[in-house]
Amino acid sequence: MPLALKDIPELSPNLGALSFVKQLLDNIAKFRVESRKVRGATVIDCGINVPAGWEAGLVFANICLGGLAQVSLHWADFAGLRWPAVEVITDHPVRACMASQYAGWFVKNGKYSAMGSGPARAVVQNEELLSKLGYADSAETAVLCLESGKLPDEETVDFIVEKCGCDPQKVYILVAPTASAVGSLQIAARSVETGLHKLMELGYDIGRIKSGWGICPVPPVAGDDLTALGRTNDAILYGTTVHYNLEDADDNLSSLIERLPSSSSKDYGIPFQELFSRYGNFYDIDSLLFSPAEVWLSNTKTGCSFHAGKIRSDLLEKSFKLQA
């Protein structure tokens, strides 16, 4: 991939995330979160033993994106379904989404495991993706976001700190379950990231993507993690719209755009929880499914725009168990 993200200090996702981390720490009661020191590092509970809500979720999403995006909440229309939405706008899509927000670090230590996302990944540098992007964050602060129903134990915190190579006092670990208000919101805020990842899977040079704009319904909190996994995936697959500005000498992106939305997959049209039960393995589900529902590409070199996909409110209503 002919893309290299320079380490520009003022665009450090870890330093950008730090100001949002401090918002949480300075307003524990307001955001209904809890923090504690573990082996010198700061661990912030965002929904396991505390009732952290949408406001905390908004801050959590900003932290995942390294402070390099504008994230907002409002009501939106999803093909006739009026529902709360999270909107993400960034002029640093690759740095904010792929070098920071993407859940590319499977943190496993002893019996503890969790999906790790956020800017600490760019410090740790243990992913092939970051090598492809040609990017590393040299910040002395590391901020990691974990999707888990359990807080990391002392040994896992030691493991994370060692991988980050930072002073423990400058390591911040935020944890939110999938089945929580924060979990629902922060996953729904991955609209732009999901489309970028699909573009990479299709072999497109995402260095041409100059800005991204996405909107996704925020799923209602589920009673268990499996149902939450289904709802959060359905929100992306059947409710998300993304729009990218790109620079490409090719004036015809028709063949690319048709392969981008989730509708390009053979598994399209089935609620995610049903698919998961059918296959019994996340990785057996068609990889082409993991895409936004609707995609727009605007080529700033030619002035042409391309569109594919559509919102499926019927599947959202089924997944969210909305009652008339």
Same domain, 292 and 226: yes
pLDDT at residue 172 in the model:
98
Helices and strands, number each (H, E), in the chain: 13, 12
Query: What burial letters (b/e) apply to 150-160, b meaning 16+ CB within 10 Å?
Result: ebbeeebbbbb
Sign of CA dihedral 183, 60, 240, 255: negative
The set of residues, in sequence order, having a beta carbon less than 8 Å from that of 292 and lying 6+ positions away, is 191, 194, 195, 198, 214, 236, 237, 240, 241, 242, 260, 261, 262, 309
What's the domain count of the chain? Answer: 2
pLDDT at residue 38 in the model:
98
Same domain, 169 and 197: no
Task: Read off the pLDDT of residues 133-182 as tens digits, 9 standing for 90 and up.
Answer: 999 999 999 999 999 999 999 999 999 999 999 999 999 999 999 999 99
pLDDT at residue 7 in the model:
83
Task: Read off the pLDDT of residues 180-216 as tens digits, 9 standing for 90 and up.
Answer: 999 999 999 999 999 999 999 999 999 999 999 999 9
* Residue 161 · residue 189 · CB < 8 Å: no
Query: For the sheet containing 70-78, what is the strand order?
Result: 70-78, 81-90, 209-217, 241-246, 294-299, 305-309
Other CB atoms within 10 A of residue 280 CB: 7
Same domain, 24 and 155: yes
Same domain, 210 and 157: no
Q: Is 165 helix (H, G, I), strand (E, B) or coil?
A: coil
Same domain, 136 and 49: yes
Structure tokens at 33: 């979160």
Same domain, 190 and 246: yes
Domain presence at residue 224 = yes
Whether 3 has a pLDDT exceeding 80, the answer reads no
End-to-end CA distance of the chain: 48
Domain presence at residue 16 = yes
Domain presence at residue 294 = yes
Sign of CA dihedral 65, 230, 104, 265: negative
Last residue of a domain, one of 176, 203, 237: 176
Structure tokens at 244: 């990218």
Beta bridge partners of 307: 296
Pick from 6-10, 60-64, 85-89, 302-306: least confident? 6-10
Same domain, 28 and 166: yes
Residue 139, domain extent? 9-59+103-176
pLDDT at residue 294 in the model:
98
Same domain, 274 and 199: yes
Same domain, 28 and 119: yes
pLDDT at residue 252 in the model:
77
Confidence of residue 251 (pLDDT cuts 50, 70, 90): confident
pTM listed for this prediction: 0.96
Task: Read off the pLDDT of residues 28-69 as tens digits, 9 standing for 90 and up.
Answer: 999 999 999 999 999 999 999 999 999 999 999 999 999 999
- Short-list 259, 242, 239, CA closest to 298: 242
Whether 2 has a pLDDT exceeding 50, the answer reads no
Please report, for the domain that includes residue 291, its CATH number.
3.30.1030.10
pLDDT at residue 1 in the model:
43
Please report, for the domain that includes residue 31, its CATH number.
3.10.340.11
Q: Is 243 helix (H, G, I), strand (E, B) or coil?
A: strand
Last residue of a domain, one of 116, 142, 176: 176
Same domain, 151 and 265: no
Domain presence at residue 97 = no
Domain presence at residue 108 = yes
